[in-house]
Chains A and B, each alone.
Chain A
Amino acid sequence: MSIPGKIVPEALKTLGKDNATVSYPKDKRTMPDRFRGAVEFEPEPCTGCGMCERHCAADAIVVEADADGNVTWSYDVAKCMFCGQCEESCPTDAIVMGKEFELAASDKPAFEDSYTFKR
């Protein structure tokens, strides 16, 4: 900036500052408490009501029940857009948005997560 009297103080101030970026992956930022990463599921409290599937805009969650009362809850992190509506819609807090954000993988099955349990 060429305004006289502005450039020198600005340059001196900037000299004393740290880098604005972090050197990822060597250094990593700590994520804030409310950060929404991959969905974490706990089968114990789940009632199999399917509200998470119904409110998932990305169709990342599928809940199926068979005739014997077994519920299969499956989740595809590659489809997930991390909005957190499933956590909000779950009446029994079986779903929590986790902190995991390094989710890249080279094979498709690695994105899929599935739990089968009796209800």
Chain B
Amino acid sequence: MSEKASGTEIPVGPQHPSLKEPANFTLTVDGEVITGAQMKLSYNHRGIEQAVLSKSYIEAIYLLERICGICSHAHTSAFTQGVEELLDLEVPPRARYIRTLIGELERIHSHMLWLGVAGHEIGFDTLWQYAWRDREIVMDLLEEITGNRVHYSINTIGGVREDLTDEHCETILEGMDDLAERIDFYQETVPNEETVRMRCEDVGVVPEDLAREYCAVGAVGRASGVPTDVRKDAPYAAYDDVDFDVITDDRGDLLARTVVRIGEIAQAIRIIRQVAKRIPEGDLKASAKPPQALLAQVPEDDVVSRYEAPRGELIHYVRADGTDTPARVHIRVPTLANWPTVVESLKGSYIADTPIVVAGIDPCISCTSRIGVETDGNHGGENAFDLDELREYGIEWYDDRSDVERPSLDGDERTVSGGTRGDRA
């Protein structure tokens, strides 16, 4: 990913490189044209993978839900699907339909949010305001069905927590009619709009071979002609019971990504209509046992669970050691898979296109930060540190840089548990 090129270097970020999240790009420029790009990530490591090891599977759902404020249902679904596979639970059809419904409503709200952000990044604030106003249709529906706009908390191990009433189905269908009208409008206007075309056509191009080489996922891959979609490739929830198309485009530029995402909203509406009309009667949970009884049965095993989040393929790895807390959880979010394409497509773009090229993959930067945690001593490569080595590395780092101030010991004391918190008052 790192390529040195001679010329002027311009740092973009880590504060707010375009979105309100930290990532750092060092751009080498020749005049207005970017000739080389390097990126640095992990400015906001939150330690969620470590924190989840101290929580039971039930609690972990709510912790993992908070990885992302946009695709919260994606994370809980991926995790609960994994735990259900460990427990060998058959999720009832009604629960699978409800998961599909929430997942698709979430996809609409995520893509509408992106459409607004993209409009804002190219200086087209009318599109931003329009898209976010129309997104409220979906947000209100989600709040009505689950009780919350963002963290739906509807998934539980073995099924879902809330049922869908007939009135809900009617409200959903009405909402979808209103939204479909708006999406028709966007499908007609956005790709033909002069401002959008000028800023997005042939900008940030990711050709198909590059998308394949760098394993681009989600709308980025599909806009470059790679028809990857977990919903089709390995159907989960109720996706094998509903009809929908995988939207692809072969241009690979930002305009193609916009067209693909709007097309996916239209497909999501199609799926939601089918779900609301055809949802089968039945139980909401696979087992009537209380959650604690289920947790006691988790065997010693591991599982990989895949989910098509709005941004692409999301992978959760869960290893169980026979207790009610997981032994290891690893999360690969779609943004991480798409970063290499950003670095490549920045090269050759204009400096002014940086915000929209970065925003074009719909990045979720704080979801991306992960650190390797070694649990059994077998996976350490040459980049692996133990605590003492890490300490030594830190001391050396400051020794080499006499102009950088060392963190004071007072600062350390505050983080020690049971430390001076009371004394400060």
Contacts and interface: CB of A to CB of B under 8 A. Distances in A.
A81 B143 contact: no
A51 interface: yes
Interface string B92-133: 000000000000000000000000000000000011000001
Interface majority SS (helix, strand, loop, mixed), chain A: loop
Interface majority SS (helix, strand, loop, mixed), chain B: helix
B136 interface: yes
A84 B292 contact: no
Interface string B136-147: 100000011111
Given A34-B145, A81-B66, 8 more contacts: A3-B193, A6-B185, A56-B59, A81-B62, A84-B153, A84-B161, A89-B290, A91-B290
A88 B156 CA distance: 10
A34 B147 CA distance: 4
Contacts of B144: 32, 34
A6 B188 contact: yes
Contact of A85 (B58, B66, B189, B290): B58
Nearest to B58: A55
B147 A6 contact: no
B193 A35 contact: no
A35 B153 contact: no
A79 to B, nearest CB: 12
Interface residues of B, number: 35
Interface string B237-267: 0000000000000000000000000000000
Contacts of A119: none
B147 A1 contact: no
Interface string A43-81: 000000001001111100000000000000000000001
Interface residues of A, number: 25
A34 B162 contact: yes
A23 to B, nearest CB: 16
A18 to B, nearest CB: 11
Contacts of A82: 148, 151
B148, B151, B188, B192, most chain A CB atoms within 10 A: B148
Contacts of B15: none
A110 interface: no
B291 A20 contact: no
A107 to B, nearest CB: 13
A17 B422 CA distance: 54
Nearest to A51: B292
B55 interface: yes
